[in-house]
A and B are shown apart, each in its own frame.
Chain A
């Protein structure tokens, strides 16, 4: 997540005096969750370690939050791990790709999240892979789960993540000649001109807002 926040409107120091809402928000942890993970998550981690000897090298973090397991994977190992998860741990379905853009995380600005589902065992886990803005490449998982085709195109369209090995990585929602990737946090939003003394309504990203 972004840095810890304090106060309303980005005020520092004195902060807010209303006492409303606790006001100090802590940033999410960056470490791994310690075992036991709870539920079937320990079993999944054990099975994966057994089926994939390079577990410690490929998986940088194992996080359990809100009752969900996330495996943070090095991007160059993603396809190997995905294949083992599909074939050995029976995660037959990948429910898509969701991109996230963290501009303040230097070196790992772009994140792709893959929710996996095992219908055989009724289990769900999540894979998370990050890459940098300067080298926005992540290997494609279309060969492993064919249904990822459109999801990867959408994530490319919206975030500019290039999925290497995708059979036809083109824009899917925006027009083909569109500039930029709209769901990146640095994508400029338009303001609205109003017919009153040349004023404009500022773009949503530039308006004063509660943080």
Chain B
């Protein structure tokens, strides 16, 4: 027989022995007892396998009731050693690695990497205009597909299922266009040093014009669902606050920075790929919160459509122009063509190297196996990805492979703001805060 006091079952001694009467806890005394406790600290481990953490992100939360007192993000679950791998591949092969980092914005990864190589090679000015226009077109299409995931999953994580269906419907259409152009829906390695891998297929500009029309109509569905929606605003307005000073000290760029009212967009501030020739607006908000970032992404969709339309006009005017730098020591010799069984080697090119020109074959072999050399030096090339400043720091020792490639990933950097945005807030609001950063773990961990 125990003599310890049990608050849920008081006991009394009778002639038959001890009798317990289970009455249920005295709730009032229990609550007052807890209220007197000096500290009620709970550590919650959220993730890495959690549907609301945007991939394999682990958040170690220290809670006091439902209030977050400390957040420690844990990352690295998706580390694939891409930067190291690139040191053992030729410069051109590197694009197939770079494209796989941030899997929602492959074209941006490739472009940042290729712009850096072109800067080292000194051929930035030699990249044909049509190639630059195609890059812009692909990047803006990619911005739409990436923002669609940000909006769709962000809404889903806050409990709204409808927006996700609409967002992924739109994203599928963009990915279909990618497949028609490059042969792949994601991870295309389409942008190559010196230009792009191949020209647009025939009739593509017409098809993309139709796509722009459809998207412009479809975007309204999500707008109607979310903009001004009371529930949505209660979950997002004033949540995840981070002002300009916070963004500056933490190195935050992209929609999070623009939600503080600063119109900082590399497409305007230091244009690349000819962005200075397009008319578009930099969208800002002045609320510094999740709702502001959401509105920015919604409005950027329309700006991307505007840029795509201008790019399509330029492409029609540049029909038949080269899409790869003229220097045959850099331009990839393999020409791809769309055959009856899908995208594959161009039969014309195979006929030439196998049947008629020994020199062509040698050139093809040397360039594909050895690749080209890049003069020694280091450069830093940045592009405005959907998440902020994505930059490649590329170091060459003069060889056929990069000596070192480092990507300044906006997701990696911006994820540091999680603590600043959510400490002191409610636990439910950290979901919205993280979703508004829009981190992609493939990019964070590389």
| A residues in contact (CB < 8 Å) with B | 1-2, 4-5, 8, 18, 20-22, 25-28, 65-68, 70, 92-96, 98-101, 113, 115, 119, 122, 124, 126, 145-151, 154, 158, 171-175, 182-183, 204-205, 209-211
CB distance from A5 to the nearest CB of B (A): 6
Q: How far is the CA of A101 from the CA of B84 in the complex (A)?
A: 12
The contact string, 1 if C-beta is below 8 Å from chain A, for chain B 84-116, is 100010100000000000000000000000000
In the bound assembly, the distance between CA atoms of A172 and B399 in angstroms comes to 31
Contacts of B401 in A (CB 8 A): 209-210
**CB nearest to A123 among chain B residues:** B270
Question: Are B380 and A1 interface neighbours, CB within 8 A?
Answer: no
In the bound complex, CA of A93 to CA of B251 (Å): 6
Q: Is B416 an interface residue (CB 8 A)?
A: yes
> A1 and B398 in contact (CB under 8 A), knowing A21-B329, A95-B391?
yes
- Interface segment, one of B170-178, B291-299, B331-339, B368-376: B368-376
Interface string of B389-402 (1 = CB under 8 A from A): 10101011111110
Dominant SS at the A interface? Answer: loop
From A22, A28, A147, residue with most partner B Cβ within 10 Å: A147
Task: Judge whether A115 and B399 touch: CB under 8 Å.
Answer: no
**A26 and B249 contact, CB distance less than 8 A:** no
Is B413 in contact with A96, judged by CB distance below 8 angstroms? yes
Q: Is the CB of B79 within 8 A of A26?
A: no
A115–B393 touching, CB < 8 Å = yes
Tell me the nearest residue of chain A to B80, going by C-beta: A173
Per the bound structure, the CA–CA distance linking A28 and B445 in Å amounts to: 31
Contact of A26 among B75, B376, B404, B446 (CB under 8 A): B376
Which residue of the partner chain, among A115, A145, A183, contacts B83 with CB atoms under 8 Å? A183
CB distance from A151 to the nearest CB of B (A): 7
Question: Is there an interface contact between B377 and A65, defined as CB atoms closer than 8 Å?
Answer: yes
Q: How many A-B residue pairs lie within 8 Å, measured between CB atoms?
A: 137
Assess whether B413 is in contact with A151, with CB atoms less than 8 Å apart: yes
Q: Report which B residues bind A (CB closer than 8 A).
A: 75-76, 79, 81, 83-84, 88, 90, 119-120, 122, 248-252, 262, 264, 269-270, 329, 362, 366, 369-373, 375-380, 382, 389, 391, 393, 395-401, 403-404, 406, 408, 412-413, 415-416, 445-446
Q: Assess the B250–A146 pair: CB atoms within 8 A.
A: yes
Q: Whose C-beta in chain B lies nearest to the C-beta of A27?
A: B376
**Could you say which of B119, B329, B399 contacts A66, with CB atoms under 8 Å apart?**
B119
**A150 and B264 contacting across the interface, CB-CB below 8 Å:** no
- Contacting residues, chain B, for A22 (C-beta < 8 A): 373
Alpha-carbon gap, A182 to B446, bound state (A): 13
Given contacts A8-B370, A98-B393, 14 further A-B contacts (CB under 8 A): A21-B366, A28-B377, A28-B397, A66-B120, A68-B379, A95-B382, A95-B391, A98-B408, A113-B393, A147-B252, A147-B413, A149-B416, A204-B88, A210-B369
Contacts of A124 in B (CB 8 A): 270, 380
**A146/B373 in contact, CB under 8 A:** no
- Residues in A neighbouring B270, C-beta threshold 8 A: 122, 124
B402 to chain A, nearest CB (A): 11
B-side contacts of A209, CB under 8 Å? 88, 401
Return the contact of A95 from the options B249, B251, B396, B398 (Cβ within 8 A): B251
Q: Across the interface, do B377 and A147 meet the contact criterion of CB distance under 8 Å?
A: no
Query: How far does the alpha carbon of A173 sit from the alpha carbon of B78 in the complex, in Å?
Result: 8
What is the bound-complex CA distance between A22 and B366, given in angstroms? 13
Report the separation of the CA atoms of residues A119 and B370 in the bound assembly, to the nearest whole angstrom.
Answer: 41
The residue that B249 contacts in the complex, of A1, A122, A145, with Cβ under 8 A, is: A145
* A25 in contact with B408 (CB, 8 Å): no
Query: Which of chain B's residues has its CB closest to A20's CB?
Result: B366
Q: Is the CB of B398 within 8 A of A25?
A: yes
What is the bound-complex CA distance between A95 and B393, given in angstroms?
A: 11
Contact call A115/B391, Cβ cutoff below 8 A: yes
Q: Hey, which chain B residues are within 8 Å of A210, CB to CB? A: 90, 369-371, 399-401
Q: Give Cα distance in the complex from A148 to B391, angstroms.
A: 15
Question: Which A-B residue pairs are the 8 nearest by beta carbons?
Answer: A147-B251, A25-B398, A98-B406, A28-B376, A204-B88, A147-B250, A173-B76, A1-B376
Tell me if A5 and B416 are in contact (CB < 8 A): no
Q: Tell me which residues across on chain A come within 8 A of B404, comparing CB atoms.
A: 98, 100-101, 183
Which residues of B are found within 8 Å of A92, using beta-carbon distances? 248
A4 to B373, CA, bound (A): 13
Chain A residues in 8 Å Cβ range of B84: 182-183
Identity of the chain B residue whose Cβ is nearest the Cβ of A97 in the assembled complex: B406
Check A27–B250 contact: CB distance below 8 A: no
Contact A21 B373 (CB under 8 A): yes
Q: With A113-B378, A122-B269 in contact, is A26–B248 under 8 Å at CB? A: no
Q: Which residue of A lies closest to B412 (CB)?
A: A150
